[in-house]
Structure 1
Amino acid sequence: MLESAVEWALPMVISLCEFMGIFIVAVSALGSFGRYLKSLFTHAPCDIKFQLANGLALSLEFKMAAEILKTVLVRELNELVVLGAVIILRALLSFLIHFEMKQPHSS
């Protein structure tokens, strides 16, 4: 009974996590672009690159959560290998973004 409940609810939770990740990327990208346009006219210093990287890092965390939840639904070794590769790539991207964020940024 618990297994069927998990199989029923988990795809919705996974989709929700992935949607939140997509939403955060879109909001971060649009917000950063808006700040960029504003800085063109006001010439005020603004660290747009850091703000965008911060949003991307957060969205990757939601996408990673969805991938981790997908491991519960894996039935075959093939699926697990593909899922593992995706998780490794997203973790690498997250590491690179965090590395970029730690670089000195202009204010």
Structure 2
Amino acid sequence: MLEELIALLLPPIISICELMGIFVVAVSAARAFWNYCKGLVTHVPLDVKFDLANGLATSLEFKMAAEILKTVLVRDLNELVVLGAVVLLRALLSLLIHFEMKSHG
């Protein structure tokens, strides 16, 4: 019973987490582009790179949350290996973005 409930509720929650990540990337990219254009016109230096990297890091956190939730639904070892590789790649990307943000700021 509990397994059926989890199998029913988890896919929409995973989709919502992934959509939130996509939304954060889109908003961050649009905002960074707007600030970049504004900086070109006003000649006031804005930290566009840091703002975009911050948005990307936040987005990756939402995507990682979705991947972690997917581990509950894994049925066989092949799915787990692929899921593990995706989580590892996203964790490395997040680490690189955070490193870039610290070295930039």
Give the TM-score taking structure 2 as reference length.
Answer: 0.98
Corresponding position: 1:40 with 2:40: yes
Give 1:6-25 correspondences, 5 Å limit. Answer: 6-25=6-25
Deviations 1:15-68 (A, max 9, x none): 000000000000000000000000000001110000000000000000000000
Deviations 1:73-104 (A, max 9, x none): 00000000000000000000000000000013
Aligned to 1:91: 91
Structure 1 letter corresponding to 2:84:
G
Deviation at residue 13 of structure 1 after TM alignment: 0.3
Aligned to 2:103: 103
Corresponding position: 1:73 with 2:73: yes
SS of residue in 1 equivalent to 2:4? helix
Structure 2 letter corresponding to 1:96:
L
Q: Which runs of 5+ in 2 are unaligned?
A: none
Identical residues among aligned pairs (%):
70
Q: List, as ranges, runs of 4+ consecutive aligned residues in structure 1 with deviation greater than 2 Å.
A: none
Structure 2 letter corresponding to 1:77:
L
Count of aligned residue pairs for this structure pair? 105
* Distance in 2 separating the partners of 1:20 and 1:11: 14
Contact residue 39 and residue 46 of structure 2 kept, 8 A: yes
* Distance in 2 separating the partners of 1:12 and 1:58: 20
CA RMSD of superposed structures (Å): 0.6
Structure 1 letter corresponding to 2:3:
E
